[in-house]
Amino acid sequence: MAQALGNATLTMVNGGDFRLDGGAMHGVVPKTIWSKLVSCDELNRVTYTTSCLLVEIGKKRVLIETGNGDKFSAKEKEIYGIDHDRSISSALGALGVEPESIDLVVLTHLHFDHVGGTTRRTKSGGLVPVFPRARHVVQRTELIAAEHPHERNRASYLAENILPLKEAGLFAVIDGETELLPGLRVLPSPGHTPGHQSVLIDGGNGEKALFLGDVAPTSVHVRLPFIMAYDLEVEKTLDSKKRLFCRAITEGWIVLFGHDRHHGAKLRWNDKGQPEVAELVEL
């Protein structure tokens, strides 16, 4: 369901559910604590969404993230607990939004669960971009990391999601904080990956929403110690969380999560001076 944010309209779209190891998702926090907040299956996996945000602002259609995509092999589906072939293009189609109508795709980072929907396989087995006329915005440091993966991140950066965009000249590579459109700005938020960015939507009437990406993938991760084992630079993630949450609380932003069944939240300081969820928000 679409929700107005001043001059912008926001619609959260599910780009596909999957399951990840609960221990890895909560880092140094022991299972005795995190298991009271989320449930897991017999393989210790927790189910997460891949949330994608459709933003209509200033006569432009912007898509933030593209989800898992539908290119997984049977083995990969088993590993990640994927029991469907849900593409972002079909999810948008259900809303009457055609891929060709998207002007801008903003990617918080280039891990497969955020960019898997940027490409699709043809009947002949080739790969083509799903959003052929859209600029795909990514930080330069992130693209470099994705093109030169190492043993620690190689499983997350998949060439099938990246090379077709580069070959088609669809990447819009930026450096640092950048205004993409009036009312739409990216804020660097490194830690999970070197070039991770979050997206700030300004409705123009004092209302703002921040799509966090994987800075805090769920409402549980608003707690500062809850940092994923997947994060490459934990201290940078912690710094990003503190900086963004301080602004979100001070300025009254809604924060939107990349992997939570709840779309977002308003935050507040608790009695210990730590950020916490004050109110859950659904779009």
Sign of the C-alpha dihedral computed for residues 166, 89, 194 and 196 taken in this order? positive
Check residue 36 and give its pLDDT: 95
> If one looks up domain 3-281 in CATH, what number appears?
3.60.15.10
Check residue 47 and give its pLDDT: 95
> Which residue reads 């926001």 in tokens?
10
Q: Strand (E) positions, the chain?
A: 3-5, 8-14, 18-21, 45-48, 51-57, 60-64, 104-106, 119-121, 127-129, 135-139, 171-174, 178-181, 184-188, 197-202, 208-211, 254-256, 264-269, 275-281
pTM for the model: 0.96
Instruction: Tell me the domain boundaries of the chain.
Output: 3-281
Check residue 229 and give its pLDDT: 96
Check residue 87 and give its pLDDT: 86
**Which of 266, 271, 258, 270 has its CA nearest to residue 228?**
258
Q: What are phi and psi of 177, to 5 degrees?
A: -65, 130
Residues of the chain with pLDDT under 50: none
Check residue 283 and give its pLDDT: 86
Check residue 80 and give its pLDDT: 86
In sequence order, which residues have a C-beta less than 8 Å from that of residue 131 and are 6 or more positions away? 63, 66, 99, 100, 102, 105, 118, 170
